Amino acid sequence: MFDRLDPRGLLAKPWVYKTFRGLVTTKAGRAGLVEDYLRPRPGDSVLDIGCGTADVLDDLPDVEYYGFDSSEEYIDLARARHGNRGTFVNASVSRDTVTGKFDLVMALGVLHHLNDGDAAELFALASSALKPTGRLVTLDPLFHDGQAAHRRFVVSLDRGGHIRILNEYIELAQRSFQEIESHTRTDLLRIPYTHLILECSP
């Protein structure tokens, strides 16, 4: 629950979020995410769900990029910053948000902001928007047994209200996907953290 005195509420401001992202991410962490999991090929069609300010474009080759986000402010900044490198749309997750088929669908840092109903909708949207050979990649904070206390503490500070354990993320993904690989990483940020990455195939 956020009130006006909670500094995390400032992250809703796109320039604050961009500054924070710049401070906590590392070049190696961003490159690892792209090379190990996103694996985009030049010319791929890419759907970015909850794209924010679309900063991921800085780390992608030339792709046909379509990003949408429920925050108009974030989308305005994405358009101002990336212009004709993609299509940026102000919309919320729903099966009807997108038509067309994509090689790669990503939802980076989004599921943990969504309740179970909306998260299931995200997986359904991704499943219907993928080409038969396509993949969905998600990235979110994770709680797990045996997690180092300092990592658990920093994860618990995230403003997302739906940080889950592995089985909860997997159960939601299984409603729309047959093949799901999970990867846990603790080295993607400058700060102590635990990420879960899901790679889902139809």
Q: Report DSSP state, residue 117.
A: H
Residue 93 in contact with ligand SAM, rule: CB under 6 A = yes
Cβ proximity to ligand SAM: between 119 and 130 the closer is 119
CB of 62 to ligand SAM, least distance (A): 20
Asked if residue 43 lies in contact with residue 64, where contact means CB atoms within 8 angstroms, the answer is yes
Residue 52 in contact with ligand SAM, rule: CB under 6 A = yes
Asked if residue 161 lies in contact with residue 179, where contact means CB atoms within 8 angstroms, the answer is no
Asked if residue 140 lies in contact with residue 112, where contact means CB atoms within 8 angstroms, the answer is yes
DSSP string over 160-199: -S--EEHHHHHHHHHTT-SEEEEEEES-SBSSS--EEEEE
Q: Which of 33, 38, 45, 55 binds ligand SAM (CB under 6 A)?
A: 55
Q: Which of 45, 47, 57, 71 binds ligand SAM (CB under 6 A)?
A: 71
Which range binds ligand SAM by CB under 6 A, 2-10, 79-87, 103-111, 190-198? 103-111
What 3-state class would DSSP assign to 26?
A: coil
Residue 90 in contact with ligand SAM, rule: CB under 6 A = no
> Footprint of ligand SAM on this chain (CB under 6 A)?
21, 50-52, 55-56, 69-71, 74, 92-93, 108-110, 113-114, 118
